[in-house]
Every structure is written in C-alpha cells, then in structure tokens.
Structure 1
Amino acid sequence: MCSRSLQFINSLQPLTFFSHRRSISSYGLLLLPLVSFFSRANDILIGMMLAEEIKARGLVEHTSAPLEKIFSAQRTAYLGIDPTSDSMQVGNLAVMLLMKRLSTAGHKLVFLVGGGTGMIGDPKETGERMMLDEKIVATNTLALKAQLKKILGTTPFKMVDNADWLSKTKLLPFLRDVGKHFTVNDLIKREIIKKRLDTPGESISYTEFTYALLQGFDYLTLHEKYGVDLQVGGSDQWTNMLSGVDLIRKRLGEQVYALCMPLVEDSAGKKFGKSEGNAIWLDPKKTSPFHFYQFWINLPDTRVGTYLKAYTFLPIAEIDALMELHRRNPGERQAQETLARLVTEIVHGPAVTAQVAAATDALFGDTSFHRLSCEALAVALAEAPSVEISRRGLAEGYSLAEALVAGGLAFSKSDARRLISGKGIMLSGQTIGNPDQKVYLGDLSNGYALVRKGKQGVLVLVLK
C-alpha cells in the first residue's frame, strides 16, 4: 500500500463517532476498501495534475503511454547519467529538475551513473567515440555523484552504477536472455545507425551496435532490483529508452513506461553539450558562477519564457505574469534577471548568487564599485579585464586611449581614439568624447574606476 494510503488510515485514528469501544485497528480494517478507493482516486487526481503541469511547461516530447496513465500510480523513475565528463551541464540540469518535480509529486527517484556503459559510449552521428580509460570513468562517476547530491539537496533519491552488474554479466546468458529479443532489422533502422551506415566511409562497430541492448538491460535490472517502472531522459535517447520498455514486456510480460523531454537548445538551435562546443558546465571550475549567471541573464527574449518553465519552480501563472511585464518593458530584462538568479541559486547556492548578481550590476548596471561587498568586488575583479595604474601615473594623468588598448577594448591607439571620439566609451558613468582624455586619481573611487564600451565591453582601472 502506498504511503498516501497509510497516511489516510492514520488520519482515522482520532475518530470518535463509534458508540461502543472497539479497537480502532478493527475499524481501520473494515474501512480498508473505502480507504483504497479514495487513495486510488487521490493518486489519479495527483497524476492528472502532474501531467497537466509537465505539459504546460513543455517538458514532454514523447511518452510510451498517455501521461495521465503513467502518473495514475506512484512510480519509481530513473535517469541515466553519462560519465564521460566529470561535470554535468545545463542540458542535463533540465531533466534533473524534471526528476525533482516527479519527487515533489510523490514518485521515487533512482539515478543511474553509467560506469559500465560509459566504457563504451552510445553511437554518435559521425565517427566512433573514444574508449575511455576505466580509471577516468571511475573518477568522473565519483564527481557526478557529488554534484548530483549538491544540486538535489534534500530530495530523496537512490544512486546506482551499472558497472556493478554489467561487469559481472556473462556473455552467453546475456546473448540468450537479452540479445534474442532484439532484431538487427530494427537496430539498423535507428536514425543514428542508419546515418552512419549510409555515409560513405563510415561504419559502426559491434561495440556501439550493442549499446541499445545494454541500456535495455539496465532498465530490466533496475525494474527487477528496485521496482523501477519509468525511465526519463532527453529525446536523443528515445529509441534506447523504448528498448528497455520492450525488453521488460517480452521478458517479464509487464508494462513499464518511458518519458522523454525535448532537448534544450541554445539560441542557435543546437543542443547543449561538450560535443557541440557550447557546454555551460555546472562545475564552478569549468564554468565560473559569474559566467554561469551571464549565460542566463543574456538569453534572448525568444528563449527566456521557455527556460523559465523548464529551469525554475515558479508557478505557471507567475511566469505568465512575469513575461507580460517583460513584454511591456523588455529593456529592464526582468525575466532574464529572475531566471539567472533562480537557476544560479539551484546550482551554486544563494550566497554565491548574491555575489555574482552584485558584481554583474556593478560591471553592467548602475551599482558603484565602492558599494560592493568584499566578496562581490573580488568576483568583479576576477571576471573583468583590468589595468593597473600607479599612483604616480595617475598623478601625471594616464592616457585613456592607452588604457583601452592595454585592457583589450581597442586593437590599437588609433582605434581607441576613434572609439572615444565617437562617444562609444564611458569612464565612471560619464561619456567621454575627447580622444586625448587622461585618467587621474580623482576619477577612481576607493582605488577603482570602470570603463565601458557599449553594453558588454568593460574594463576596470585599478590603483596599483
């Protein structure tokens, strides 16, 4: 019986409308059919609400059954994590947050780190993936586990590694019990495999060819050991996900489910990933919290609404209201700022988010450097280009044009003079038009002065 049913039974204990003394457990037993009915109705209602929520947020592309049926009972959902890197990126984050939504609705979570399948890698469109060293996969797996725990926080979940069973699986039983349920006819029809085979000079190894079997076997193993009955993933894994659904049906005669969400794409329409060269990493050593925040706050208007639904837990009504405010005054970029703050808090925590938000406002907004906390100032100085100027140099007057060249905002001194003459440069909030402008000690506040070129070009002048 599910926990929601047990909670309902427990609520019966205070009842006092019975006229004679009888153990409350006896009445509980008599009412079990009624409890079961209401519990089932409650599960169905919760499932319908979750299905509508996920649809409204645009988080579903394919399902193996109607969402309302999938969520009509408590599920144990699993998500596979690729250990070919020691960090996840924002594309992974979207589906991780989908899993968190499932947990909030009462479903159980299992995360599968592919320590075994990571040794092989799923087929890609061109060329074969490099075979990773076993030690690298093991190191990456440990890093991913720690990252997952940090991001999910108090959300309960189980974590397993498919190396635990794949490394012990014997070839002959695997071919007999799993391989016979897959046909070569179906496998070669899969889009990526078909592209590889149809491309002159390309081929596919037997190792890559068996990846679908291994992923299907993972689902079967998780179903038998942990009761997993729902796989969640990105749309690029859809055919592999169906492999597990079909294998369990053929082997055990049981129905399990699969749900895939659309791939999150960048402004150019490409999916995020290391192979695409556009990965925004969750690890602060790979993508600093400042640059992570900049990614979200600089999103184009065409993407921000979609990302608010996928990456935040704001109610849909609040997102709609926020987007309406944004449409009325897009220049304030309130939607982007809200998105950047909420997602950075999920990944890096509120304290770090406050620092990078303050540093961002100082570099690109209206906040003065002298108003920054020490931590926020350190972030700004670490992320923005800077030029150190001695007290003597400032006393004599330091050429602003030379500072622009030294700080990388101009290619040459003549280019710098042209920018200044065209009033494309601001010093401490003031537009400069004199190409011979010099910087003096009085132009700095607490030892710093900010130079801006357009909306995104910044340079910090620092008293040496």
Structure 2
Amino acid sequence: MSEFNLIQTLRNRGLISYITNEDNLNKLIESNSISLYCGFDPTDESLHIGHLLPLIILKRFQMAGHKPIILIGGATSLIGDPSFKKEERFLNTIDNINQWTEKISKQISHFLDFTCIKNSALLLNNNIWFDKINILSFLRDVGKYFSINKMINRAAIKKRIIRPDRGISFTEFSYNLLQAYDFFILNQEYQVNLQIGGADQWGNIASGMHLINKKSKKEVYGLTVPLLIQSNGMKFGKTESGTIWLDANKTSPYKFYQFWMNIEDSNVYDFLKMFTFIKVSEINIREQKKFTNNQIVHDKSVLAKHITLLVHGKKQLLAAERITEFLFSKKIIDIQESDLQQLRQDGIPSIQVNNIKDLQEALVLSSLAKSRTQAKNMIMSNSISINTQRISKNHIFNNHDKLFGKFTLLSRGKKHHFLLCW
C-alpha cells in the first residue's frame, strides 16, 4: 500500500526532527492508509519557502497511499502562534484573513492531488468548529486538561515570560489550546492519526496528543521537520532583502530560482535530499563528484530546477532559465517581454527613465559608475554592455536599444546588471 518504509525514507532524507512512538507509527502506516494533517495560519497573503518541507512530506505521504489534510487556521490566525516569537504578533482583520485564506488555499492546491479517488487531499478551515463553540464550553471541556505549570515551562512560552519588557498576553498563551483542539476535532471527525509541522510546533502538537489521550484514550502521533537555519542565524527563507515567497507576484520565479542557485555549497546535497524526489543513492553519487568538473554548480542548478518546477510549474521554470541565460550567458534571442518584467519586479536593480543623454549618464544614474569620468574609462576598457553587446565608445540611446520598446539592459562585467525601463 505504501512506499517501503516511508518513515525511514524521511529519516534518510533528513526530513525528521522529532517523531513520537516511531515503531507503532511505522506499523500503522505500513498496514493501513491513514489520515494526517498539517496546519497553516493565513497571516500573510502567501506562504514562503519555510513552509515547503511540511508540504513535501504531505506529498510523500499521499504518494504512499495516505490521505493528507490541510487545515487553514481561519480562527487561530486571529490569535497568532507565539511559538518562539520575540514579540506579540500583530492582530490581523477578519477581511484580510479571509482574502489570504483564499490565496494560500490556491497555492497549496499545486502540491497535492485533490481529485484522486482513494486518498484525495482535503482542505479544511478551523473556523468551522470554532465558530460554533462558546468560551465556557471550551474552558470546561478543553482547558481543564491542561496544567498552567507545564505550559509555562515549555521553551516557546518560557522565552517570552522571562522577558519582563515583552511578556506574553493571555491571547497568545491560549493559542496552544486552540491548536490542541484542532487535532482533537480532526481525530474525532476525520480519523486523523498524525500531525506534522515544523520543529517549533512541537509544543502545540504534543498538546493535541495529550488532549486526545485524555478525552478519547487514543494513541495518535506527531512528526516535526527541521527548521533550517542559515549560517547568519536567520531562519531559512529569510534573507537580507526579505522573505522568499511562493507567490510569483511577491517573489518572481527568476528570483526564486536564483535563491537556490546561490545557497551555500555545504547545503546543496542535504537540500537535494530534502526538497527533491531524486533518489538518495543518486544524490550521494553526485556528492562524491562535487569537486570535479564544477559539479557542485551543476547540482545547484538541478536543485533550482526541481524546486522551481514544483512551486511555479514548467512555464515559469523555463522563464527563469531564459533570464539566467540572458544575464549570465548573453543569450538574448529567446528572451520574452514577460521575462524582463520579472527582472524589473525584483531580479536586478532598475529605474524608470524618460530621456538620458548618453551611456555615460546612464552608468552614473544606475550607480554602475560613480562619475562620468569613471564611466568613460569603463567604456574604453570594454567592460560595459548594452543588451549583452560590448560597447567600446560613448553611446547615444536609440529605439534599437529598447527591447520590446521598453527595456535596456546595462551590464558591467559579468555580474553587475541594471535595467533601464523607458
């Protein structure tokens, strides 16, 4: 029914941070088709790459014959999860949450199969049950099973409590119980046996397991995926220039593709195991050859292709590859207007212009040169290109320089680019 030893497969790929009662869970999923879930609170209009690993695990479980359930936190997002947050979350409006729920639901639909007969993915919203419950019933039926002493000793809460300047509000403190109730309802109504989430969700998952055990005397399971931390200490998915979003309107497919092309060398093969479906044995062979024939750069491109295809589809992957060829290999023939719009969005620095006297002025305006004198020297040394063509003398712009009548690419050497938008 399922992939041979699915849990071991996840472990071999570095996809498990913590798992409860692994032996029993292994027996269950090897002999039965189970239902599992992961929750996503719509606290923005898009998911980001930090959400990819839970989605990939859901996909792997579905491929192995199990039923994945996506729970959108329409109710819990009104509170905000305080787990390992330094400050209290901003409380979003119901209108925003409803709009974001719709957008995020569409994003998630690309990762899972919602139309297969036996184990179609299911998307739910927890406001279905929270809209029906009153505060007294919740406190009596749920709150009585939780010890304040244990709750405040959880790492995620303790870090906030020991900061007297910030602390934690009762609103955020109650989040743990809300997520626990989600797991309980899903177990009762949809026979969900397993919850997955990021490593920072372990406290919330454990609370759900506790509640189910106390109220229903059932054994359920939790599995967390590692939180990936960069060398600068920031969570994976956050960069100096901002979050890498899954929404093409917030992070262009080209910038998304380049993010993976520019990861640290030490992460390449771990990420190939985590984020792609390439066999581990093949990845290990690639790693053994990483110091030969620029193999590691090629493998970064394999990683970038697989993840861009997974998130954005084939059309946008081809666009990202065209733009890369245009900028770094000077191949202009196949470039499309939509590709240049991606560059304008967030690919390279750009500026809106009307009239520019000459190339020297454009280089200063774009900060590719500090002065006209420096610009002149750069041009004379043959280090400046217009639309991938080397320029050896000062140049007056004309319509021929405007790709699609709108764009001119200025380049200094191989790595410094700027887009003039007419």
SS in 1 for 2:110: helix
199-208 or 257-266, which deviates more: 199-208
**Cα distance in structure 2, aligned partners of 1:380 and 1:241:** 41
Q: Report how far residue 255 of structure 1 moved.
A: 0.2
Q: Report how far residue 167 of structure 1 moved.
A: 1.8
Q: 1:173 aligns with which of 122, 134, 137?
A: 137
CA separation of 1:430/1:162 partners in 2, compared to 1, >3 Å: closer, same or farther? closer
Q: Report how far residue 166 of structure 1 moved.
A: 1.1
Give a deviation string over 1:8-64, Cα, whole Å, max 9, x none: xxxxxxxxxxxxxxxxxxxxxxxxxxxxxxxxxxx6xx452x122111110001011
- Tell me which residue corresponds to 1:283: 247
> Could you say which structure has the larger radius of gyration?
1
**Cα distance in structure 2, aligned partners of 1:428 and 1:286:** 26
- Which amino acid is the alignment partner of residue 110 of structure 1? I
**Cα distance in structure 2, aligned partners of 1:251 and 1:277:** 47
- Which amino acid is the alignment partner of residue 108 of structure 2? L
**Cα distance in structure 1, aligned partners of 2:56 and 2:75:** 24
Q: Report how far residue 90 of structure 1 moved.
A: 0.5
- Tell me which residue corresponds to 2:213: 249
CA separation of 1:413/1:300 partners in 2, compared to 1, >3 Å: closer, same or farther? farther
- Tell me which residue corresponds to 1:147: 107
Higher helix share: 1
- Tell me which residue corresponds to 1:62: 18
Give the total of aligned pairs: 409
Q: Decide whether the 8 Å contact of 1:81 with 1:112 is kept in 2.
A: yes
- Which amino acid is the alignment partner of residue 329 of structure 1? N
- Tell me which residue corresponds to 2:365: 406
- What root-mean-square deviation, in Å, do the aligned CA atoms of Structure 1 and Structure 2 show? 3.2
CA separation of 1:428/1:224 partners in 2, compared to 1, >3 Å: closer, same or farther? closer
Q: Decide whether the 8 Å contact of 1:344 with 1:353 is kept in 2.
A: yes
Q: Report how far residue 74 of structure 1 moved.
A: 2.6
Q: 2:321 aligns with which of 335, 357, 363?
A: 357
Q: Decide whether the 8 Å contact of 2:70 with 2:122 is kept in 1.
A: yes
- Which amino acid is the alignment partner of residue 91 of structure 1? G
**Cα distance in structure 1, aligned partners of 2:311 and 2:152:** 39
Give a deviation string over 1:205-255, Cα, whole Å, max 9, x none: 221111111111110000000000000100010111011111111111110
CA separation of 1:171/1:457 partners in 2, compared to 1, >3 Å: closer, same or farther? same
419-428 or 133-142, which deviates more: 419-428
**Cα distance in structure 2, aligned partners of 1:62 and 1:361:** 41
Q: 2:265 aligns with which of 287, 295, 301?
A: 301
- Which amino acid is the alignment partner of residue 149 of structure 1? S
Pairing 1:201–2:189 present: no
SS in 1 for 2:195: strand
- Which amino acid is the alignment partner of residue 77 of structure 2? G
Give a deviation string over 1:365-391, Cα, whole Å, max 9, x none: 242x1343555466557644378798x
**Cα distance in structure 1, aligned partners of 2:238 and 2:222:** 25
Give a deviation string over 1:282-306, Cα, whole Å, max 9, x none: 1111111121112112222122222
- Tell me which residue corresponds to 1:21: none
Mapping of 1:16-165 within 5 angstroms? 46=3, 48=5, 50-66=6-22, 68-69=26-27, 71-72=29-30, 73-123=32-82, 124-153=84-113, 156-165=120-129
SS in 2 for 1:439: coil
Q: Decide whether the 8 Å contact of 1:70 with 1:257 is kept in 2.
A: no
- Tell me which residue corresponds to 2:335: 372
% identical aligned pairs: 35
TM-score by length of 2: 0.86
TM-score by length of 1: 0.79
CA separation of 1:452/1:171 partners in 2, compared to 1, >3 Å: closer, same or farther? same
CA separation of 1:115/1:304 partners in 2, compared to 1, >3 Å: closer, same or farther? same
- Which amino acid is the alignment partner of residue 121 of structure 2? F
- Which amino acid is the alignment partner of residue 251 of structure 2? T
**Cα distance in structure 2, aligned partners of 1:328 and 1:275:** 30
- Which amino acid is the alignment partner of residue 76 of structure 2? T
Give a deviation string over 1:400-422, Cα, whole Å, max 9, x none: 43332133322333443565677
Q: Report how far residue 130 of structure 1 moved.
A: 1.7
- Which amino acid is the alignment partner of residue 168 of structure 1? K
CA separation of 1:182/1:376 partners in 2, compared to 1, >3 Å: closer, same or farther? same
Q: Report how far residue 445 of structure 1 moved.
A: 8.0
- Tell me which residue corresponds to 1:15: none
SS in 1 for 2:192: coil
For structure 1, list consecutive stretches of 5 or more residues without a partner in the other structure.
5-42
